[in-house]
Structure 1
Amino acid sequence: MSRHLEVDHQFVEVLPAVLEPGLVYISGTHNIAAHLCCCGCDEEIVTPLGKAGWTLHYDGQVTLSPSIGNGALACRSHYIIRDSQIRWLSEMTEKQHARAHARDHAAVQELHAMRGPRLAQALRAIFNWLR
């Protein structure tokens, strides 16, 4: 396994069946970015983009935040992709992984809670308009 120090990017509608090392695939259609783990272990990393996921900044180069922490994988890699460069961090511990997982779960729950009332209100407005 050899660690990558930088990545390139490709905009896609749908992720390809086989991802290439050192390439971040960005799908605006599905609001995801995906790549093979930068440590070289060939594990597929999919990062949802948006309020309950990662933020993608693109200005010719790719920045994903927050960090990519692969605490659930055997490699336990942890890195930041900023301006298409990989900044390596110390391996993710079980405790860090558990905290990140809990934070992500809470963010998703909060997003669903916010959408529920808005969706119900929008549906009521549509049904009232149709009458």
Structure 2
Amino acid sequence: MPSARKRSTASSPSRNDTPSSSSSSRWKVSLGTCGRTYGTPCKGSGPVLAEWDAHIAAHGKATPGEAKRDAAIADLKKRLTAKTQECTLLEKKLKAAQTAIAALFHDNEALGQQLAKDASSTVTPFRPRGPH
């Protein structure tokens, strides 16, 4: 049994393994049931289960491959959060720039219309008229 436990903890997880259904947790369940009903305990599995619990306490539930995968997932989640915050900030800046551009365009159009209206109706002389 100890050699089977070593093989189980050293194996890489299959594609469908999740931290809650790792090969090590399935191995312990199979030790506990030994193919019998849940009401019938296996003979002699007590020391093996105690050894297994000691191993899990020392090394954790995840295999080295699972630990690397979990670390990679945590790093990707952290990077995704940072990029999402950056994207939100840039969207706010873009919206502010669009508002400013629209206001400037409106002001420019109004000034252009006012200039066209004033230039066509009134001519302002450069020199004052009258006796000198």
Which TM-score applies when normalising by structure 1? 0.29
Larger gyration radius, structure 1 or structure 2: 2
Which TM-score applies when normalising by structure 2? 0.29
Kindly indicate whether structure 1 or structure 2 has the higher relative contact order, using CA contacts under 8 Å at least 6 residues apart: 2
Greater share of helix? 2
Greater share of strand? 1
